[in-house]
Structure 1
Amino acid sequence: MNLTFFDQFMSPQILGIPLVIMALFMPSIIFLTPNNRWLTNRLSTLQTWMINLFTKQLMLPINKTGHKWSLILTTLMAMLLTINLSGLLPYTFTPTTQLSMNMGLAIPMWLATVLTGLRNQLTSSLGHLLPEGTPTPLIPVLIIIETISLIIRPLALGVRLTANLTAGHLLIQLTSTTVLTLLPTMTTLSVLTGIVLLLLTILELAVAMIQAYVFVLLLCLYLQENT
């Protein structure tokens, strides 16, 4: 039974081709692309408005030197949001439940923000490792602690996204299995459990959107410290 529950996090294959590749290309298929018409349709206009609004909210606290990151951060948000939401559909696979993929996104982006800070403002970036006014005996200890907290940031990004999505998927599957098991014998309890399952599904929709936003927002905060 436990193997059946965790099988949903294994990358499925068809004719030896991993379906995770199709899942990663899903955002590029769903989102509309600009056309040459004078007037766009309502859906394209709504999509453009939402992207512009999200980009403005992200770039508002960041200096102008960091605005060049707007394209990659908005694209990352759109990709994570689409993958997280599409993974809630039946007979689908969620690549963001894999720690390897999340770390593959978190480590390069975090490292890019650190290298940007070291290149543009070396003194200020190194100054974050030692607060001003620290007593001399505590200097080595604080430098070690701040360095560890800096290095652990990408791990926190990847583990947070993986743990939240994995826990939600497991809870939904456990609850749905309970509903099907209780349906022949205890119909009333099965219906009540089904209502809980509906509420869990709504909650997981919110978690899928919030976790994608938190992932990108934390990257923006890291970028703000280094620009």
Structure 2
Amino acid sequence: MTMSFFDQFMSPTLLGIPLIALALALPWILFPTPSPRWINNRLLTLQNWFINRFTQQILLPLTLGGHKWALLLTSLMIFLITINMLGLLPYTYTPTTQLSLNLGLAVPLWLATVIIGMRNQPTHALGHLLPEGTPTLLIPILIIIETISLFIRPIALGVRLTANLTAGHLLIQLIATGAFVLLPLMPTVAILTSILLFLLTLLEVAVAMIQAYVFVLLLSLYLQENV
């Protein structure tokens, strides 16, 4: 029984083919393609407004050098939101509950920001490892601490996204199982549990969107330090 709760986080296969590839490729089909017409329909207008507002918000603290990342960050945001939201549907699979996928997104992007900082302004980038005015005795310790904090950033990005989505999915399945078991025994308690399940599902919808935004926002802050 306990192991079956975690079966939802296993990558499903069909005829030996991992369906994670389908789960990663399918969301792009769901978005309407831009129209060549001057006036778009309501869905396209809402989509364009959301993308423009998000891009402005992300690029606000960045200099002009960081604006080259606008397309990448916006695409990553839409990609993560879509995967997280589709994973809340019944009989679906959420690829972002896999730590390997999240680290595969976080590590290269974080490493790109570090390489950009080392290439464009190496003195400023290395200056983050040692605050100004540090006593001489504390210099080796602080350099080690700052280096560890630098290398732990991509791990924190991946673990944060994985842990939040995994915890939410587990809570939903636990409460749904409890409501199903209590229905013939205590109908009133089962109804109250179902109401709690509905509220938790609304919370998970918010978490799915917020965690995607936090992931991209932290990447933009790392980029801001190195541009």
Within-5 A mapping of 1:99-138: 99-138=99-138
Q: Is the 8 A contact 1:26 1:83 kept in 2?
A: no
> Hey, what's the Cα distance between the residues in 2 that align with 1:130 and 1:38?
54
The answer for the alignment partner of 1:62 in structure 2 is 62
Amino acid at match of 1:107: V
Report the equivalent of 1:37: 37
Deviating 4+ runs (over 2 angstroms): 35-39
- Equivalence for 1:223: 223
Give the Cα separation in 1 of the matches to 2:48 and 2:83: 19
Aligned to 2:10: 10
Corresponding residue number in structure 2 for 1:72: 72
Match of 1:180 in 2: 180
What is the deviation of 1:220? 0.5
SS at structure 2 position matched to 1:35: coil
Question: Which residue of structure 1 aligns with residue 158 of structure 2?
Answer: 158
1:114 touches 1:226 (CA, 8 Å); kept in 2?
Answer: yes
Output the TM-score relative to the length of structure 1: 0.98
Structure 2 counterpart of 1:159, one-letter code: V
Q: Matched residues in 1 for 2:78 and 2:123: separation?
A: 34
Residue in 1 aligned with 2:170? 170
**Structure 1 CA distance for aligned equivalents of residues 60 and 173 of structure 2:** 40
Maintained 8 Å contact 1:130/1:139: yes
Determine the C-alpha separation between the residues in 1 that align with 2:205 and 2:98: 18
What do the CA deviations read for 1:117-158 (whole angstroms, capped 9, x no partner)?
111111000000000000001000000000000000000000
**Which AA in structure 1 matches 2:96?**
T
- Contact 1:12 1:19 survives alignment (8 Å): yes
Structure 2 matches for 1:186-205, cutoff 5 A?
A: 186-205=186-205
Q: Tell me, yes or no, if the aligned pair for 1:102 and 1:162 is still in contact at 8 Å.
A: yes
Whole-angstrom CA distance in 2 between matches of 1:32 and 1:60: 27
**Structure 1 position 48 matched with structure 2 position 48:** yes
> Quick check: 1:87–1:93 contact (8 Å CA) kept in 2?
yes
Where does structure 1 lack aligned partners over 5 or more consecutive residues?
Answer: none
Unaligned runs of 5+ in 2: none
For 1:22, give the aligned amino acid: L
Distance 1:21 1:35 in 2: 28
Q: Residues 179 and 194 of structure 1 are in contact (CA less than 8 Å); yes or no, is this contact kept in structure 2?
A: yes
Cα distance, 1:49 vs structure 2: 1.0
Task: Quote the Cα distance in structure 2 between the aligned partners of 1:134 and 1:32.
Answer: 55
Letter matched to residue 171 of structure 1:
L
- Opposite residue 148 of structure 1, the aligned amino acid is I
Paired amino acid for 2:196: V
Q: Distance in 2 between matches of 1:3 and 1:141?
A: 43
How far does residue 3 in structure 1 lie from its aligned partner after superposition?
1.4
In the alignment, is the contact (CA less than 8 A) between 1:32 and 1:44 conserved in 2?
yes
Q: Which residue of 2 aligns with 1:26?
A: 26
* Matched residue, 1:83: 83
> Could you tell me whether the CA contact under 8 Å between 1:27 and 1:78 is conserved in 2?
no
- Residue type matched to 2:44 in 1? S
Give deviations 1:22-63, integer Å, cap 9, x for gaps.
110122111121232332211111101110110000001000
